[in-house]
Structure 1
Amino acid sequence: MAHEHAHGKIVVTTPTGKVGSRVVRLLLQAGVRPTLLLRDPDRLDAATRERVDTVRGDQGDADAVLRATRGADRLFWVDPPTPDDDPIVGHARMGANAARAVGENGIGYIVFLSSVGAEKRHGAGEIDGLARTEQALDATGADVLHLRCGYFFTNLLMESDSLREGVLPTPWPLDFAMPWVDPRDIGDVAAARLLAGARPGDRPGGGAGRGVQAVHGPEDLSFSRVARILGRVLGRQVRAERVSDDDVRVGLRSVGMSAGQVEGVVGMAAGLRQDFVPEQERDVLTTTPTTLAAWAHTHLRPLF
């Protein structure tokens, strides 16, 4: 395939995830045969499986990462949810595996799925682990683009039981507006940047190197506004309700999370809800098209 040769070997991690699966689909449609690192290749549908190369393993397995990225020109790297008691340590470990592969295999360009808040470096809970990965990749000296993404629409799927009762619980201030985004749109941006490769101007001052691109969704939303939008889509009354950090802790402990995992989740909201402004403001490059109403109509309404 001509496009595959033009782009070289592209490796995708978490290829069955909400973002990674979209990246894979778009690469295939662009004529690329990507290499996928995943625990279970049988999770891929048959049509996709015959059009990709697979390496069994995950991002926590340094040897699997090295095998998957041998000869790679471009890499889409995602730190998946970590089983470590301390998620920051877990993300740092996976980031170190990525950095090692970049160095040993000479990968020329990396797109990393990071998060709004990673620019703080410290004080944003589990997001601090993504900041560690950013720093590890930056230290390789390779061309790397960090996608700083907003709050996923899909997080609302975890609140379906509460929404059936007409309540949207949140530890965030109800009037605090922040970027919300559809993971599918993040996949669009990631695939576009992988296909384009490093470009002059990616980093401040021009030239390739370390770059940042925020992915903010179509608009900033407060939880009060989200509740109103969901109410219209679902055809029922929905109100946002502020819950305390301690209430969140109790709920997370009840599902078996360790103390470190609990604080990683609680710290994300606690670290970003006061006086935080994303490093990159909203503009034509950071704004993606899918609205919350459109997403909820397709993915949330059928559950009710």
Structure 2
Amino acid sequence: MRIVVTTPTGNVGSRVVRLLLQAGGTPVLLLRHPGRLDPDVRDRCELVVADQRDGDAVVRATRGADALYWVDPPTGEDDPVAASARLGAVAARAVTENRIPRTVFQSSVGAEKRTGVGMIDGLARVETQLDATGATVLHLRCGYFATNLLGNLAELRQGTLTTTMPLDRPLPWVDPRDVGDVAAARLLSTAWSGRQVQAVHGPEDLTPLQVAEVVSASTGRRVTAVRVSDEDLRAQLRSAGMTDAQVEGFVGMSSGVRDDFVPEDPRTVLTTTPTTLASWVHQHLRPLLHEGRVE
């Protein structure tokens, strides 16, 4: 089975690759920087060095593919939604020209709204582009990644977790490795067809207050959730050098699912994955928060 994996060094992609190897396969890895791969992984895979924005290169890399795992990588372009749409066009072209039997696309909860959810609007565009091919495709609508906490290390070390969400608003939190488990299972299976959506909600929905409690209990460092305004976040992002389109794309991801939003795919045995936030925090975040700390 020839399975092509994009972003194979990412939090999800690296898990997909490992599982495909353990299943006895030789995945095809489409990436720009092969040096980032673990040598043991690199030697067991077929590598195609290419940029996903290069349509001709992607078509060549996916020729003869039985399945494709497609992730929109960050491009740093001024307009992230337009960038996703261009990547979606590349994916749709490859699926169509190579008649790829199964495609699994890493989307996000919120894409079902189609508009008004910041950068997620770009993922919604990709969903639409892949649907238009008429091919068999699965959109994995993922919850909020636990790894996003790694972007808040400085403030967490100061004992604060800031958010623009209401402090009592629950969201699905998921370990990216669990997304990789679902993706790999679907890539290896031939028992599904048509256009499908499957959310990946993690084990439970958590409010910002509960997330702060989990981080506190799992790390031994007291963390308090604090709500900030969209304008406060905009100012912070602009000071970090983001363009206006990038800022609005980032802010819109939370504001678009803030009020009365209910995921299209509900929490069921199919959408619930096992790794708790507490487990992830203890394994990955706790060591980082304790770096340099004198006990």
Equivalent of residue 294 in structure 1, options 279, 291, 294: 279
Equivalent of residue 243 in structure 1, options 225, 228, 231: 228
Is 2:207 the partner of 1:222? yes
Query: Aligned-pair distance for 1:82?
Result: 2.8
After TM superposition, the structure 1 = structure 2 runs for residues 184-203 of structure 1, keeping only pairs within 5 Å, are: 184-199=177-192
1:45-86 Cα shifts (integer Å, max 9, x gaps) = 211111111111122221221121011110000011232211
- Specify whether residues 198 and 135 from structure 1 end up closer, same or farther in structure 2 by C-alpha distance, changes over 3 A only: farther
Is 2:34 the partner of 1:41? yes
Please provide the CA RMSD for this pair: 0.9
- Specify whether residues 64 and 291 from structure 1 end up closer, same or farther in structure 2 by C-alpha distance, changes over 3 A only: same
CA distance in 2, matches of 1:91, 1:197: 28
After TM superposition, the structure 1 = structure 2 runs for residues 16-165 of structure 1, keeping only pairs within 5 Å, are: 16-165=9-158
1:90-143 Cα shifts (integer Å, max 9, x gaps) = 000000000000111111100000000000001111000000000000000100
Normalising by structure 1, we get a TM-score of 0.94
Which runs of 4 or more aligned residues in structure 1 lie more than 4 Å from their structure 2 counterparts after TM superposition? none
- Structure 1 gap ranges (5+): 1-7, 200-207
Equivalent of residue 271 in structure 1, options 236, 249, 256: 256
2:219 alignment partner in structure 1: 234
Structure 2 residue identity aligned to 1:62:
G
SS at 1:300's partner residue?
helix
CA distance in 2, matches of 1:197, 1:95: 23
- Specify whether residues 198 and 253 from structure 1 end up closer, same or farther in structure 2 by C-alpha distance, changes over 3 A only: farther
SS at 1:85's partner residue?
coil
1:203 alignment partner in structure 2: none
1:12 alignment partner in structure 2: 5
1:187-220 Cα shifts (integer Å, max 9, x gaps) = 0000001011351xxxxxxxx2100000000000
Number of residue pairs matched by the alignment: 289
CA distance in 1, matches of 2:190, 2:82: 30
- Structure 2 gap ranges (5+): 291-295
Kept in 2, the 8 Å contact 1:178–1:222? The answer is yes
Q: What is the percent sequence identity of the aligned residues?
A: 66
CA distance in 2, matches of 1:47, 1:237: 39
Normalising by structure 2, we get a TM-score of 0.96
2:293 alignment partner in structure 1: none
Kept in 2, the 8 Å contact 1:55–1:67? The answer is no
Structure 2 residue identity aligned to 1:196:
S
CA distance in 1, matches of 2:206, 2:156: 18
Structure 1 residue identity aligned to 2:269:
V
Structure 2 residue identity aligned to 1:49:
R
